[in-house]
Amino acid sequence: MVELLDEGFDVLILDDLSNSSITVLDQINKISNKKPLFEKLDLKDKKGVQELFLKHNDISGVIHFAASKAVGESVVKPLEYYENNLVPLINLLQEAEKTNRSFSFIFSSSCTVYGQADQLPITEEAPIKKAESPYGNTKQIGEEILWDTVQSNDNLNVISLRYFNPIGAHESLEIGELPIGKPQNLIPFLTQTAAGIHDKLNVFGDDYPTPDGTCIRDYIHVVDLAKAHVVAIKRLKEEKQNESFEIFNLGTGKGSSVLEVIKTFERVSGEKLNYEITARRNGDIVEAYADTYKANNVLGWKATLNLSQGIKSAWDWEKKIRNKS
Q: Which residues are catalytic?
A: 135
CA distance 127 to 136: 14
| Residue 1 CA: distances (Å) to CA of 59, 68, 101, 156, 310 | 16, 19, 24, 22, 19
Please select the residue that binds ligand WQD; options are 65, 82, 147, 189, rule is CB under 6 A.
Answer: 189
CA distance 3 to 297: 21
- Which is nearer to ligand WQD, 28 or 111 (by Cβ)? 111
* Identified binder of ligand WQD from the candidate list 59, 62, 203, 268, rule CB under 6 A: 203
Q: Among the candidate windows 88-96, 202-210, 263-271, 309-317, which touches ligand WQD by CB under 6 A?
A: 202-210
Does 113 sit near ligand WQD (CB under 6 A)? no
Give the type of residue at 143.
Answer: E
> Does the protein bind ligand WQD through residue 147 (CB under 6 A)?
no
Contact status: 94 vs ligand WQD (CB under 6 A):
no
Residue closest to 117 by CA, chosen among 245, 241, 257, 289: 289
Q: Does 206 bind ligand WQD (CB under 6 A)?
A: no
C-beta closer to ligand WQD: residue 5 or 131: 131
Q: Which of 74, 85, 91, 110 binds ligand WQD (CB under 6 A)?
A: 110
Q: Does 84 bind ligand WQD (CB under 6 A)?
A: no
**137/165 with CB nearer ligand WQD:** 165
Strands (E), the chain: 12-15, 37-40, 61-64, 103-110, 156-163, 165-167, 201-204, 216-217, 219-221, 245-250, 256-257, 275-278
Contact at 8 Å (CB) between 186 and 194? no
Is the separation of the CB atoms in 111 and 288 below 8 Å?
Answer: yes
Residue 124 binds ligand WQD (CB under 6 A): no
- How far is Cα 112 from Cα 131, in angstroms, rounded to an integer? 7
Stretch that binds ligand WQD, among 197-205, 237-245, 248-256, 294-302 (CB under 6 A): 197-205
Q: Which amino acid is at 181?
A: G
Sole binder of ligand WQD in the list 105, 107, 114, 163 (CB under 6 A): 163
The residues pairing with 248 across neighbouring beta strands, listed in sequence order, are 161
Q: d(Cα 222, Cα 239) in Å, to the nearest integer?
A: 26
Indicate whether 64 belongs to the interface with ligand WQD (CB under 6 A).
no
Please identify, among the stretches 144-152, 153-161, 178-186, 313-321, the one whose residues bind ligand WQD according to the rule CB under 6 A. 178-186
Q: For residue 305, what are the contacts with CB-CB under 8 A and spacing of at least 6?
A: 168, 221, 223, 224
Nearest approach, Cβ of residue 177 and ligand WQD (Å): 11
Nearer to ligand WQD, 102 or 185 (CB): 185
Residues at the site binding ligand WQD, with contacts judged by CB under 6 A: 69, 71, 110-112, 163, 165, 184-186, 189, 201-204, 215, 217, 258, 281, 284
